[in-house]
Each structure stands twice: as C-alpha cells, then as structure tokens.
Structure 1
C-alpha cells in the first residue's frame, strides 16, 4: 500500500469521526478507499456519504447498480472493487456468464434488455466520456431521467473508488488473488 493505513487509535479527532461514521453506517466498516481518503478527512466524509447513496439508495435495482459497478471496475482493472462487487453482483442475480464476459472484456449475452442497456451505456461513457444521443434516449426511456442521473453518479463514484484503490495500491484481502488480466 502506498499510503499509511491508519488504525483508529492513530487517527486525529476529525479522521476518527469520519471512520466511526462509516462504521456506524450501512457498511458497518471502513470501506477500502476510505483508508486513503482519511488522509483528507473532509474528502473522506463527503465521498463515503456519496458512496453510501450510490451503493444503497439510488433508483436502480441492485442488479443494475452492481452491473454498472462491475463494468467500471473492469474498465479501470480495479482488483479490490471487482473482488467486492463480483460477490455482490452474483447475490443481486447477475448471471456468472455475464460477470465472466465482463472480466474477459467481451460482450455478455443478456436476457434483460435493461441490463444490456446499463452495460452498454456504462461502457460507452467510460470509453469515450460521452454517450450517443440514441443510446441516451433509450436509457432515459427505459430508466427514466432519475435512473440515468443515478447511473452516471454510480459510474462516476465507482470511477473515483477504482482510481483511489489503484493509485494507492490498496490490495486484496490476504489470501485473495487478482481475477482480472490487465
């Protein structure tokens, strides 16, 4: 890890308040990127609150949220993000074949048109920073305006997570090996 991993006892009052807020929240623990963000406590406080929303409170059902997170994790080859959200994606009902295809950078076969749409929208936005009008119109018609805004928020937030994990070399739990090829 490229940054000091602070124990609660080593944190100043502000850092400890942010860590304890995360522990008291829906996650019940300090999420991996917060280990870096605690070195900028106000960033950490705001980012972890956004993360709690992006993870648990958007208008998208869990399977679609987790799909967008997995596509984002794969885009950035974020091993920790992939590790955590592969399990969550499976629990949310994403088919193992879809997850495997994303890991291989292949186009998955979807039975749910909304899932295909979220996959395609996420990949396109990450690949080019833009989404063609037709794809955006289809997303708005399928997910609603709020759904598209929430989707873009999920993609953006988990991009921040992936880049934080990668930049500070926050690794997988002991005994786990990376599943994603570069």
Structure 2
C-alpha cells in the first residue's frame, strides 16, 4: 500500500474511534480501503458507515449485491476487490461460470432474471454512464424504487472502493491468488 498503515497507537483519538467502530461492526475488521481512508477521518467515518449498510443491509440480498460488486471490480480491474468478493459471491451462490464470464469480459448466461437485470444495469451504468429507459423501467418493476436506489448506491460505493484500492495500490494479500485477467 502506498500509504502507511497506521497502528492504533499512532492514531489520533478520531482515527482510533473509527478503527474501533469498524472492528466492532459486522465486518469485524478494518478493511483495506478503510486503512487508506483513515488518513482522512471524515471520509473514513462516512464511507465506512455507508459501506456497512450497502454491504449487509440492502433489499438486494447477498447474491445480487456480490454480482454488482464483481461487475464493478471488473470494470475498475481492482485486484483486491475481485479477490475478496469472488469468494463472497461464490458463498452467496453465484455460479462460477457467471463469475468467469465477468472476469473475461463476456456476457454471462443467467437463469435468474433478477441477476441478469442487475448485471445489465451495472454494466450499462459503468460503461455508458447512464441507464436506458427500458432497462430502468424493468429495474423498477423487478427491484422496486428502493432496490434501484440501493443498487446505484452499491455501484457508486464500490467504484469509490475500487478507485481507492487502485490509487493506493492495494492488491490481494501476499501469497493469495487473484485470478482477475488483465
């Protein structure tokens, strides 16, 4: 990591508070992007709380959330994000063939219409910076207004995570394999 990882003894009271909040949260740890954000405590505080909600508490559920996160990781070629969320996507039940197709920038074959919608919506927003009306209307119909807002939030948040990981050169942990293709 380009930034120095601060130990709790080196942290200000504000940084230590954020560190402790992260360790005692559902995450149970200080995530790699938070290790960078903690150098700017207000960024860390707000991004950490938003991330905790988007990661664990949306109406999308783990499978659709992890699918959207992998599309984002692939878009940004974020090594650590791909490494971490591929495991979580598999655990959530996302088919390995779908993950492999995303990794190789191929359109996956879906059996689940909601998963296909999340993939298409995510790809459209990342690649075209917008979502066409027909796709938007279908998303509202299938996910509801809350689900669509949460999906956009998830995609934006994980774009921030990816930019953080890439800027500060946070890759998969040493000795771990990240199979994200160039």
Return the TM-score normalized by structure 2.
0.98
Counterpart of 2:154 in structure 1 is 154
> 1:181 offset after TM fit, Å?
2.1
Counterpart of 2:129 in structure 1 is 129
SS of aligned partner of 2:122: helix
> 1:170 offset after TM fit, Å?
1.2
Counterpart of 2:175 in structure 1 is 175
Give CA-to-partner distance per residue, 1:24-44, whole Å, 9 cap, x none. Answer: 100000011001000000110
SS of aligned partner of 1:33: helix
> 1:174 offset after TM fit, Å?
1.6
**Structure 1: which 4+ aligned runs deviate by more than 3 Å?**
none
Counterpart of 1:10 in structure 2 is 10
Counterpart of 2:73 in structure 1 is 73
SS of aligned partner of 1:158: helix
Counterpart of 1:61 in structure 2 is 61
Q: Structure 2: any 5+ residue segments left out of the alignment?
A: none
1:24-63 matches, within 5 Å, as 24-63=24-63
CA contact (8 A) 2:83 2:177 kept: no
Give CA-to-partner distance per residue, 1:5-57, whole Å, 9 cap, x none. Answer: 11111111111110110001000000110010000001101100000001001
Q: Structure 1: any 5+ residue segments left out of the alignment?
A: none
How many aligned residue pairs are there? 182
Aligned Cα root-mean-square deviation (Å): 0.7
